[in-house]
Amino acid sequence: MFCVIDFGSQYTQLIARRLRELNVYSLIFPPSIKRKDLEGNKVKGIILSGGPGSVYEEDFKIDMEIFRMGIPILGICFGFQLLAKIFGGRVRRGEKGEYGLTRIRIVEKSVLFEGLEEEEIVWMSHQDIVETLPEGFIPLAYTENNYIASAESKIFPFYALQFHPEVSHTNKGKEILRNFVFKICKAKEDWNLDKFVEENIKEIKEKVGDKKVLLAVSGGVDSSTLAVFLQKAIGNNLTAIFVDHGLLRRGEREEVEEALKSLGVNLLTLNCEERFLSRLKGIEDPEEKRKIIGHEFIKVFEEKARELGPFHYLAQGTLYPDVIESAHSSTGKPSKIKSHHNVGGLPEKLNFEILEPFRYLFKDEVRIIGRKLGLPDFFIKRQPFPGPGLAVRIIGEITKERLEILRSADYILQEELKRWENYERIWQSFTILLPVRTVGIKGDQRSYEYTIAIRIVESEDGMTAQWTKVPYEILERISTRITNEVTGINRVVYDITNKPPATIEWE
C-alpha cells in the first residue's frame, strides 16, 4: 500500500489515481496520521502532497516517527518544502512564482529520473522555493529561474520534487512515479479494478444485508454503472429513481428511461419540473442554485422513500472530483472551489444512510468498471453532465424560455460535433447562456438578443483540462446554425480557457 498525506492540494487525489494506474493500492490520509496507524498496513512508500499553505507561515504538524520508519518518502511541491524545513533547510518566498509549463534541467543522476532527458517540461504551481537544502540532501534538477526543482537525500530514502508529476502536463510524470514505486519502493503490481469490483460487491452485500437501497439515477455513466453494480450486489433490494427536474437536455429523459429499462434496472421516473423551477425562480447565485437543487433532491427521495419504503440507504454516484471540489482540505483549511449537488447542501439530519461505493474513484475508472459490468457504449462514452443540469449552464435566473434557448443551442452543438472525426477526443462539450444581450442584425433589422458561449475541452480525468482546437469550419457551422435556428440568440463566442485557471463548468 502507498500512503498519500494530504496537505490540501487540489491534486492530492490525482496522486492516488496515478498510483492506481500503476496497479498499486493507495490511500489518502490527513497530516495528523500517526506512525502506529500506518504500521501493519504493509506501507511501501509515502508521498507528501502539495498544498495552499506556506511552511514558514503556519505550523504544519506531522508525526516525526513517520520519518523514522525507513520507508521511502517523496515530497511534492509543498511536500518538498516541508521536508526541507523539517530537516534543517531554508524555505523562502521566491522573487516570482513558477506556474504552468516550465523547463527543468537535470544535473545529477538519480533512480528517480531514470529514463528522462537532461531537459524536461514539467508542471509547476508555486511561489515559495527551497533556497537551502538540509544536510545530506543534494539537488537533482533546477528550473529556468535557477530554483531547485528536485532533490534527494544521501542519508535517508527521501526524494523531493518542486513540480507536480501527477499532472498530465508534466512530460515524464508517470515515469517518475513509476521509478519511485517500483525501483525505489520495490512495490509489486497487486491492485486492479477487477479486485475492487469483487471486494466492494461483497462488502456492500454484507453491509446492506436485507435492508433496502434507494438510488438516485441521473442517466450518466456514474449512476448508471452504480445501478448495475448495486443490482449485482443486492438484487431486488435496490430501487432506482430518475428525477426529471426540468433541467435536462433535449430528449434526455426519454433516452435515459429507454436505455436503463433495457438493462433490466427497476426504474421509477418522477416528473418534478414545476417543483424545481418554482424553487429556483428569481435565484441567480450559482451556489444558491446548487444548494436548492441538492435540498430538493433529498426532499423528493425522502417523500418517495416514505411511500415505497422503508429504505435504509440512499446510494449516490459521488466521485473523487466531486469530493475534492466540495470538501475542505484535510488540513482544516478551506480549499473549496464549488459545491456539488450530491455532496453539498445536504440537510444535517437525513433519514437515510449515504452509500457511495465510487467515492474514491475517478470518472475513467468508473467507465472501466461499467464495461466490465456489460454497460453499452451509450453510457460508457457519455460526457460528464452536472447533477444540477442546465441550471449551472444558464448564468443568472432560470426560466422556461431560457432553458428552451439553451437546449436548442446545445442540441445543435452536439449534432455538429458528432460529425467530427475527432469527436472522441472531447471530454466535455456544452453551451452556456450568458445574461448578456448584444446588438445584432437579423433580416436587415436591428436585434438585441442573448449570447451563447461554447465550451469544449479535452481531459484525462477532469482534474485538468485543455480547450479543444476544433476546426474553424466546424465552429463556423455551429455558430451559423445557432444564430439562424435558435430564437433569441444573435452572437456565439468560444471559451479558450484551460483548467486551471478556469473550471470546466462556468458555475
Catalytic residue annotation: 77, 164, 166
Q: Distance between CA 222 and CA 429 in Å, rounded? A: 18
Q: Which residue stretches of 373-427 are H helix? A: 377-380, 400-417
Q: Which residue stretches of 327-440 are H helix? A: 363-372, 377-380, 400-417
Task: Assess whether the previous peptide bond of 30 is cis (omega < 30° from 0).
Answer: no
Residue pair 428/383 in contact by the 8 Å Cβ criterion: yes
Report CA-CA distances (Å) from 106 to 103, 117, 126. 10, 8, 19
Q: Distance between CA 239 and CA 257 in Å, rounded? A: 14
Render the burial of 143-153: b for 16+ CB within 10 Å, e for the rest. beeebbbbbbb
- Residue 70 burial by Cβ neighbours in a 10 Å radius (0-12, 13-18, 19+): exposed
Distance of CA 146 to the CA centre of its chain: 33
Non-local CB neighbours of 127 within 8 Å, separated by 6+ positions: 93, 94, 96, 97
**DSSP strand pairing (73-76 vs 45-48):** parallel
Q: Distance between CA 150 and CA 102 in Å, rounded? A: 13
Q: Residue 340: phi, psi to the nearest 5?
A: -120, 150
Which of these, 171, 232, 244, 172, lies nearest to 202 by C-alpha position?
232
Is 462 strand, coil or helix? Answer: coil
Q: Residue 148: phi, psi to the nearest 5?
A: -70, 125
